[in-house]
A and B are shown apart, each in its own frame.
Chain A
Amino acid sequence: MRTSTGTRLTLRTIALGYLFALLAVPIALILWRTFGDGLGAFIDSVRTPAAISALNLSLLIVAIVVPLNVVFGVATALALVRGSFPGRGLLQAVVDLPFAVSPIVVGVSLIMLWGVDGWFGGLDRLGIRVIFGLPGMVLATIFVTLPFVVREVEPVLHEIGTDQEQAAATLGASSWQTLWRITIPAIRWGLTYGVVLTIARSLGEFGGVIMVSSGFPGVSQTLTLLVHSRYIDDHNVYGAYAAATLLMGLAVLTLLLMTVLDRKRSTT
């Protein structure tokens, strides 16, 4: 399409203006407000006991969620690609389901299942606290991150086919040996990519987690909950900016990792 210079400049101005107003200016402003008083103020704000415990809790949740998603994600992808069983289409649909569910609805669903009055309410009466405890937050995070590993590993499994696995089996490798020596190395970049997405989403999850957390500062607050409570409950606007900047730093790190991994994945 041939466009006059005038049209092109107009379109460019509109597009960049929109992005500036929506993305660039707000982000620049928050960085300026966070670091305007010097790096020291920022460091002090993210090193309060509540902030450190929030960071620890967020990392703990990541540390629990990632291995579970890796094991079950790879198993699900293998079942979807290599298995032939009735209900495979259903399994496909279930894996995509979390994308369509609002985080708040995830929280409510977990309360209806694991809460005191829920189907598994008996556990709570036995003293195993799921809702308003760590298990609830972990369950909410797994729910929203479930598709990532599966959907990243699945296309790779399709691509590599089964030739090498069959060769290994013919040469007498056990199924575990085949899995560890052939399949896992072949899917490693797809898997890593899925893990990066899982980590980013786990650190950033808010709606699902706020519904099932008791939200006590220093005990059951993740980083995202800390941002919220500093702004709403403590009216500590600067603290909220600082915590948000910390999260933003982690997000940008994720983006960079994703770009690097993407290049790696396309060259190997």
Chain B
Amino acid sequence: MTATLFRRAEVPALPAPEAPPTPGAPKARHGLGRPLGVGLVGLWLSLIVLLPLAALTVASFDQGWSGFWDAVTAPVALASLRVTVLVSVVVALVNAVMGTLIAWVLVRDDFPGKRFVDALIDLPFALPTIVASIVLLSLYGPSSPIGIHLNATRPGLLVALAFVTLPFVVRSVQPVLIEADREVEEAAASLGASGWTTFRRIVLPTLAPAVIGGTGLSFARAIGEYGSVVLIGGNIPRKTQVTSQYIQQQIEIDRPVNAAAVSVALLAIAFVTLFVLRLFASRSQRREEASA
């Protein structure tokens, strides 16, 4: 199934355990493995990724540290950051619960059409974000056939973000649940533990790293999201305007320094999140190796 694929592609994977290149051993050399190739690759990555981000950072300090600080702490900017983080935290928590639940149902339960439901999970990653926006508006927007109007509300933001981040927790918990040792669960049950106790004491601790990893990734994705919230969010400053919309607005009214400064703040939040996740992942991996 596509489960493992998405994990490799979408998740900022931890560096694979690499065999260090053996020094002295004769190596098959392609033109691209030579210093020239490395230089070219470095140049390309710099031009595409590093230079733009460097230009962004420099531009954000165009008016000095105080200019940067003023731009980030401007009331509307701060409000947008607050809305973004708040909504993203809620979405991450919803994902933690619903994602684990869905993964459990997909692995442990059986019902007709399960494979179809399983395939459906990947759809939010394959769909363009603007399509996600339109799709949700058709049900929860002004022309809703069921009379639920979520456009320009925070619940609207929540639904949009929950849509695009749906696969993260499901796809990181699913493989762990498949591998989980069911004999321990059987043993707990035979010793008289209730289903809930078994889940809390046996299953949950096994799943915890995967749940936390997926939750963190959906948070990181949610804080930067733009396309899926642009139509349903309403872009109302202090209420539903998320940071990416604020940044876009600042560019439109020609305040590049503000846009750059808030961009750097948003980047910083994303980096810290991913860094903490990475620390956490390598720690739980070490613990696992130690106990194995």
Residue of B nearest to A197 (CB): B9
A112/B52 in contact, CB under 8 A: yes
- From 51 to 99 in chain A, residues with beta carbon under 8 angstroms from any chain B beta carbon are 72, 74-76, 78-79, 81-85, 87, 89, 91-92, 94-99
Per-residue CB contact flags for chain A residues 113-149 toward chain B (1 = under 8 Å, else 0) read 1100111000000000000000000010011001110
Chain B's interface size range is: 35 or more
**Which 6 A-B pairs give the minimum distances between C-beta atoms?**
A102-B224, A204-B128, A165-B28, A109-B52, A207-B226, A206-B227
Residue of A nearest to B120 (CB): A23
- From 206 to 265 in chain B, residues with beta carbon under 8 angstroms from any chain A beta carbon are 220, 223-227, 230-231, 244-245, 247-248, 251, 256, 259-260, 263
Q: Is A232 among interface residues, defined by CB-CB distance under 8 A?
A: yes
> B178: which A residues are within 8 A, CB to CB?
none
Q: Is B16 among interface residues, defined by CB-CB distance under 8 A?
A: yes
Could you tell me the distance between the alpha carbons of A103 and B227 in the complex, rounded to whole angstroms? Answer: 9
| Min distance, Cβ B21 to any Cβ of chain A, angstroms | 4
| Min distance, Cβ B137 to any Cβ of chain A, angstroms | 8
Residue of B nearest to A173 (CB): B28
Subset of 30 A-B contacts with CB under 8 Å: A1-B108, A2-B189, A11-B104, A22-B166, A27-B123, A29-B135, A78-B37, A84-B23, A97-B53, A98-B49, A99-B12, A101-B224, A103-B224, A105-B224, A112-B56, A119-B51, A154-B16, A165-B28, A165-B30, A175-B28, A175-B29, A204-B130, A206-B230, A211-B248, A224-B227, A241-B138, A244-B130, A247-B131, A251-B126, A252-B126
A23/B126 in contact, CB under 8 A: no
> B121: which A residues are within 8 A, CB to CB?
19
B residues adjacent to A (C-beta < 8 A): 1-2, 5, 8-13, 15-16, 18-21, 23, 26-33, 35, 37-38, 40-42, 44-45, 48-53, 55-56, 58-59, 98, 101-102, 104-106, 108-109, 111, 117, 119-124, 126-131, 134-140, 143, 145, 159, 162-163, 166, 182, 185-186, 189, 195, 198-199, 202-203, 220, 223-227, 230-231, 244-245, 247-248, 251, 256, 259-260, 263, 266-267, 270-271, 274
Could you tell me the distance between the alpha carbons of A113 and B50 in the complex, rounded to whole angstroms? Answer: 10
| Min distance, Cβ B281 to any Cβ of chain A, angstroms | 13
A residues adjacent to B (C-beta < 8 A): 1-4, 7-8, 11-12, 14-16, 18-19, 22-27, 29-30, 33, 72, 74-76, 78-79, 81-85, 87, 89, 91-92, 94-114, 117-119, 139, 142-143, 146-148, 151-152, 154-155, 158, 162, 165-166, 168-169, 175-176, 178-179, 183, 193-194, 197, 200, 203-207, 210-211, 223-224, 227-228, 231-232, 237, 240-241, 244, 247-248, 251-252, 254-255, 258-259, 262
